[in-house]
Amino acid sequence: MTIRPGVYNINNCHNNYAMMMYGNEEDGTPLTCIDGTNSQTQFNIKETGPGTNRYTIGSDRFRYNVGADSKNLDGNPHPFTTLDQFEWSIEPAGPELYKVHIPNMDAYWFLPDGHSQTHINIEKSQGRPAEVWRMVWVEDN
């Protein structure tokens, strides 16, 4: 089942850390995950076209979107803050569970083991629980 557009908390299934964007950061700041949720962990998910399975993901509180450098994943393997629009594919992985990746690439969000405020990586899919994200609906956007 495709995800419906709206505002979500995005939590990693491996450790339940919530994706967070700092409000005082600049373009290119890697996204991190924290233990718990707050207003900085809420993200707008918007479909870019009907039936495309392509979405933009942006902070509900700040002006930044979530982007990636799809041409340089070896040098910058993290989703990061950007003022530009960036398309992501979000594929179902179970009830309220999804895998997020760069369209037409084997480049998935992955949260490595670590403490709160660990950066999210973009890596090839290997079927690990840390590649799966729970999208907890907050409200319509």
121-132: pLDDT as tens digits: 999 999 999 999
**pTM given for the model:** 0.94
**DSSP one-letter string for the chain:** -PPPSEEEEEEETTT-PEEE--TT--TTPBPEEESS--GGGEEEEEESSTTS--EEEEESSSS-EEE--TT-TTT--S-EEESS---BEEEEEETTEEEEE-TTSS-EEE--S-STTEEPEEE-----GGG-EEEEEEE--
Q: Name the more confident of 141 and 78.
A: 78
Average pLDDT over residues 50-69: 94
pLDDT tens column, 104-127? 999 999 999 998 999 999 999 999
pLDDT tens column, 31-49? 999 999 888 999 999 999 9
Q: What's the pLDDT score for residue 45?
A: 98
- Kindly list the structural domains of the chain, giving each domain's residue range(s) and its CATH number in brackets, ordered by start: 6-139 (2.80.10.50)
Q: What's the pLDDT score for residue 24?
A: 65
Task: Tell me the pLDDT of the chain averaged across its residues.
Answer: 94
